[in-house]
Amino acid sequence: MKDENAKLVPSVESRSQEFVPVEGGPQATSSAELLLTIAYVLMWASVFGLAIFTYKRQARALARLDELEKNVEARDRSA
C-alpha cells in the first residue's frame, strides 16, 4: 500500500520551484498588448458614448423646460 501511495505523490526533487520556460508551446497565443489596446479603446468609447448620451438627454430636457416656461408665461398673460 505504501508503494502505491509513493507513486501518486511526487517527490520533492520533482516538484522544483524554479522557473523553467516551455519551448515549442502553442503558437496560437494572443498578444497582451493587443488585448490591452482593445480594452482601452472600448473603455474610452464607453466614456465618450456616455458623455454624448448625457449631452443629448440634457439638451432635450432643456428644450422641454423652455417649452414649459413659454406655456406658463402664455397662460399667465391670458389669465
The domain locations on the chain are 47-79
At 29, list the grid cell.
497565443
| Residue 36: predicted pLDDT | 94
Cα dist. 52→8, 19, 30, 48 in Å? 61, 49, 33, 6
CA 65 – CA 72 distance, rounded (Å): 11
Tens-binned pLDDT, residue by residue, of the chain (79 aa)? 555 555 566 666 666 677 777 777 666 667 889 999 999 999 999 999 999 999 999 999 999 999 999 999 999 998 7
